[in-house]
Every structure is written in structure tokens, then in C-alpha cells.
Chains A and B, each alone.
Chain A
Amino acid sequence: NAGVMQNPRHLVRRRGQEARLRCSPMKGHSHVYWYRQLPEEGLKFMVYLQKENIIDESGMPKERFSAEFPKEGPSILRIQQVVRGDSAAYFCASSPQGGDKQYFGPGTRLTVT
């Protein structure tokens, strides 16, 4: 059973471009969480999704950021018009049910130049 997969592992974007980060949860997991870790800071919750539904997006910046978890395929975190402050490690985690232990992916390190 493969773990949580994230790709790309490293992503470089120029200011103003779009970044798309993908997360494939573990097999059998229908709950996905996205977290961000800014340089020298702790992890912060961004959004919690279940298949085709956003359960909690209280940690998402109001503009430029969106997330989806379609019926088929990976969860996508999309950042439009990236700025230098978006440079961070973005981690995805998944769980079978909402209250279960979460399993983390390896993260995507986004660098905005």
C-alpha cells in the first residue's frame, strides 16, 4: 500500500505564475488535509477536503488559493499569481475517516523567484 504521494516534490515559479500541487491520498482514504510550513515557522492548517467537498477552508488565504478533491484523481492545491511570500513547503495528509490518524506526504517545496 503506497503512502501519500505528492508531486512535484520541488516546484519553482516566477512571480505571477500559477502553481499546481497534487496529492494522491493513501488507498482507501477519502479525507485530505493541506498544510503549509513557511521557512523557519511551524505547520499551519489550510484546508480539509473529502471527496468532492470542502469541509473546512478556514486556513486558506481568501485570494489566489483554491483546493479541490474530485471524485477521480488527486487533490489539487492551486495558487494563482504566486508571490515570494508563497514560498514554503506544502504538505498533504490523508485519513480513512475524519477522526482518524493522518498520514503525511513528503511535501512539495515551492520556491517563487
Chain B
Amino acid sequence: KNEVEQSPQNLTAQEGEFITINCSYSVGISALHWLQQHPGGGIVSLFMLSSGKKKHGRLIATINIQEKHSSLHITASHPRDSAVYICAARGSQGNLIFGKGTKLSVKP
């Protein structure tokens, strides 16, 4: 069993839909990261959070430390949101343990 599990693995949505990607982890963490990997391979760090909720534009990330669970929400999704979204737990040494990613495709 992976230390960081994401669901769903693949997600297809229509433009405008509200999207939720889930992440569960079994390790003790100091923070949780959400990353976006574009089709060309580049990686962008979206959020780093250790409690509560963060919002940036149409993206919202939440974390529940007691339940070891985090969610990434995208409101009013757009085809340009199509990418792989990766959850990563940060261990005590600073290194990241990655989920396998959720491939999102938003259709116009």
C-alpha cells in the first residue's frame, strides 16, 4: 500500500464543473503539497498546507490532519485545467512522498 493514495486516478469533466481530487496519507507529515504537472512535463507547486484551507483563484485545498486527508477542488473548471494533479506528503527531513497523480481532462 502506498503511503500516499490519490483518487480518482483519472477524471473527465465538462467545462464549468466543480472538481474534487482526494488524497489520503498514512505517514506522519509536516506539510502536504499539491502539484500540477502539465502535458509537457513541467511541474508547478500549487499549494503547501499543514492545516485548514487555502485558496488561490479557482483552486481550493483543504487538509484534515486528524483524518490524514486532503482535497483539491477546482471551481468552474476549464479545458486549460487539464493536467496531472499530484499530492505529496512532506516528511520530517523535507523530502516529498508522492501520490501517483490524478489525470484530469476537462472537455469544452
Which residues from chain A sit less than 8 Å from chain B, CB to CB?
31, 33, 35, 41-45, 48, 55-56, 58-59, 89, 91, 95, 98-104, 106-107, 109
Contact = CB atoms under 8 A, between A and B. Distances in A.
A52 B95 CA distance: 18
Contacts of A43: 86, 88, 96, 98
A104 B43 contact: yes
Per DSSP, are chain B's interface residues mostly helix, strand or loop, or mixed? strand
Interface of B: 30-31, 33, 35, 41-45, 48, 86, 88, 90, 93-101
Contact of B95 (A33, A91, A109): A33
Contacts of A98: 93-94
B94 A42 contact: no
Nearest to B31: A99
B76 to A, nearest CB: 25
Contact of A103 (B41, B45, B100): B45
A90 B95 CA distance: 15
Per DSSP, are chain A's interface residues mostly helix, strand or loop, or mixed? strand
Nearest to B30: A99
Contacts of A109: 41
Nearest to A91: B43
Given A42-B100, A43-B86, A102-B33, A89 B95 contact: no
Contacts of B88: 43
Contacts of A106: 41-42
Given A101-B33, A102-B33, A104-B35, A45 B41 contact: no
Given A45-B96, A55-B94, A59-B95, A101 B86 contact: no
Given A42-B86, A42-B100, A43-B86, A101 B94 contact: no
Nearest to A101: B48
